[in-house]
Amino acid sequence: MPRNTFSNALIALIALGCACWPHGTRAQTLKLRYGQAYSAARSIFSLPVAIAEREGFFAREGLKVEVLQPIPGGADRQIEALHNDSVDLTHVATPFLIRAALGGSDAVAVAAEFRNPIYSVIAKPEITSFAELKGKLVGLADEYGTITVSTRRLMALHGLKRGEFGARIIEGTSGRLACLRRGDCDAVVLGQPQDLIALDQGYRRLGDSTEAVPELLYTVTAARRSWAEANQEAVRRYVRALAGAFKFIRDGANRDSVVRVVMESTNASEKIARQTLALFFEPERGVLPERGEIDLAGLAQVIAMLGDTGAIKPPLPAAEQFVDLQYLRAAGVQ
């Protein structure tokens, strides 16, 4: 074969091979450090990132993501970890992001992880109503977080006012369940799968948070704005991988695979894992975003809730202040 013909054929073969490679693997592998509190890692709130990692969505985008947890100190330390260069991206509940940003942090949300969490008030078996919690001890989360704010609203809706029950602040769903099991707490607020596990063990559900609050934006992936600007390609790849994970989770054909990840992440039984996903999707309750898109109206609702509690002062800031949508837009998500 003449040299020119051979060279042309070789170039064409290489080009064809490159075109067949999965998106993202053509580029250099990029490393990311993702922060997670222990309480999130052992709950359903780890699901989107766990799926992205275990089902290969990060790898397809040419990412090597190291999930770092627990971050000492819990949820209030997530943003601090961005600033001390412990992590590049972090899972964080929106109230903590908002308060940090108003305090001077340049951290912003780059993708949504959970929209509308379902938190249950779970009580000892002998307690059958909210009224019976008067004078009792209830295990709550951070006083200014959406979990506790929505729980207090739920209790007020059922006639139980602030001051009519004792409150103990306990970090993480697992910690609150432990308080209930020890008998130290008469009731606690739990997410999945711990609320379903407690019900299976004979404890009683009095109500859930979605009765009392409108749709909101609960947890996001956050990064420092300055870091994201300097690492745009890595953030775009992360957002694309997360979008793929959400699509995978929502596809009923993948239910068995998602159940296995829930079981591995939370130590739940198959029965509880399937009940958790049925709670989210049968019928659809808007717990998860479609592809990681940020619901600005939901974020505005969190800001309003923080304003109602006095955690932030008026005039209340706009939701746009706490997000950077350019990466979602570049990924075709928002």
Token duo for residue 32 = 């990311």
pLDDT of the residue at 172: 86
Instruction: State the angle between helix axes of 296-309 and 94-102 in degrees (0 to 180), rounded to the nearest 10.
Output: 70
- The string of pLDDT tens digits covering residues 277-291 is 999 999 999 999 999
Percent of the chain with pLDDT over 70: 90
- The string of pLDDT tens digits covering residues 137-184 is 999 998 888 999 999 999 999 999 999 999 999 988 889 999 999 999
Q: What is the arithmetic mean of pLDDT over 215-238?
A: 97
Q: What is the arithmetic mean of pLDDT over 76-102?
A: 94
pLDDT of the residue at 43: 87
Contact 255, 262 (CB under 8 A): no
pLDDT of the residue at 235: 98
Mean pLDDT of the chain: 91
Instruction: Tell me which CATH code domain 22-116+216-330 carries.
Output: 3.40.190.10
In this predicted structure, the answer to whether residue 25 has a pLDDT above a threshold of 80 is no
For 18, which DSSP code?
A: H
Identify the burial level of 85 via C-beta atoms within 10 angstroms of its C-beta, where 0-12 means exposed, 13-18 middle and 19 or more buried: exposed
Instruction: Tell me which CATH code domain 120-211 carries.
Output: 3.40.190.10
Which of the four pLDDT bands, split at 50, 70 and 90, describes residue 332? very high
Phi, psi of 30 (to 5 degrees): -110, 145
Give the Cα separation of 135 and 166 in Å (integer): 7
pLDDT of the residue at 74: 62
Strand partners, 189: 121
Which of the four pLDDT bands, split at 50, 70 and 90, describes residue 77? confident
Phi, psi of 145 (to 5 degrees): -85, 165
- CA 262-255-334 angle, to 5 degrees, is 85
Instruction: State the angle between helix axes of 270-281 and 255-266 in degrees (0 to 180), rounded to the nearest 10.
Output: 120
Comparing 18-22, 87-91, 189-193, 244-248, the range with the smallest average pLDDT is: 18-22
pLDDT of the residue at 27: 59
The reply to whether domains 22-116+216-330 and 120-211 share a CATH topology is yes
Q: How many CB atoms lie within 10 A of CB 277?
A: 20
Contact 195, 120 (CB under 8 A): yes
In this predicted structure, the answer to whether residue 109 has a pLDDT above a threshold of 60 is yes
pLDDT of the residue at 32: 98
pLDDT of the residue at 5: 44
Which of the four pLDDT bands, split at 50, 70 and 90, describes residue 16? very low
pLDDT of the residue at 75: 67
Using alpha carbons, select from 260, 277, 120, 278 the residue that is nearest to residue 194: 120
Comparing 8-17, 63-72, 147-156, 325-334, the range with the smallest average pLDDT is: 8-17
Chain centroid, CA 279 distance in Å = 16
Percent of the chain with pLDDT over 90: 84
pTM, two decimal places? 0.89
List the domain boundaries for the chain. Answer: 22-116+216-330, 120-211
